[in-house]
Amino acid sequence: MTPQSAGKWGDLAPRLTTSVVLIAIGVFTIYLGGVWFAGLVALAIGLIGWELSEMAQATRPRLIGIVAGLCCLGVLWLPDGWGLPLVIVPVLVAQSGLKRAHLSHAIFLTLAILAGYGLVDLRGEASPNWLVWLIMIVAVTDIFGYFAGRLIGGPKFWPRVSPKKTWSGTVAGWFGALCVGFVALMSGSVGPEILAISVAVSMASQLGDVAESAMKRHVGVKDSSNLLPGHGGVFDRFDGVLGASVFLLLVEQIIDFPPVAL
């Protein structure tokens, strides 16, 4: 392997290892459900709250992370509607102690807690399989985009925000999501619109990724933290999941989901 090719693929091994471990833990807790999955989601949201607060140079980032995780648990466990104030509480707790990125911190932290609710709601209202479908779309979008971007290259998607992302990788991610949607369609339990929904969810996950990249560029950091080898922080790894989850929450208000086969 030449030095140039080693540089191009140098992060592949740690990325794959971390991804396999995270997917295994995620799928295992998804099928366990209950307190195990809710606890994992709340832990992830708490860590994202901490990373966001570090990027915004909060005076007490760990406290904000703890508050975010606990509020996420409250939103998940309280009856529908009663937990809504807890979506905003971490933002209010954090604002006076931030030195920068006040608006970005507020938007992302609010969306993160809503996304956590969306993931647990999808697990409970639909089935574990549909949550795995969502995770697989995000994972395949990232994997196809990674390899296509490095093998094909070409024009950049948004060079000022994310210099490594290409249009070839972006479109490859849509194709990967289409494949996941086709597998779901072959089950015979859903209608053909699952193909379009899968691609749209893929696009939403890419928007989540790009939005996080824009915030990192704004505050001048490469990664949200260094917790996950090959990926950076929890926010770096789950930005696409957050985008997809929030999008699906909106979709469920417009169409019946999962779409039933006629």
Question: How confident is the model over 70-125, as pLDDT tens digits?
Answer: 999 999 999 888 999 999 999 999 998 999 999 999 999 999 999 999 999 988 87
Residue extents of the structural domains in the chain: 11-251
Query: Do 161 and 210 form a contact (C-beta atoms < 8 A)?
Result: yes
Q: What are phi and psi for residue 24, nearest 5 degrees? A: -60, -45
Mean pLDDT of the 49-67 span? 95
Predicted local confidence at residue 262, as pLDDT: 46
CA 11 to chain centre: 20
Split at pLDDT 50, 70, 90, the class of 257 is confident
Q: Is the pLDDT assigned to residue 8 strictly greater than 90?
A: no
Segments in 33-127 forming alpha helices (H):
34-55, 61-77, 84-95, 102-125
Q: Beta partners for 228?
A: 232
Split at pLDDT 50, 70, 90, the class of 261 is low
CA distance 115 to 183: 25
Going from the C-alpha of 10 to that of each of 93, 191, 226, 230, the distances in angstroms are: 40, 41, 17, 9
pTM of the model: 0.88
Helix (H) or strand (E) holding 13: helix 12-32
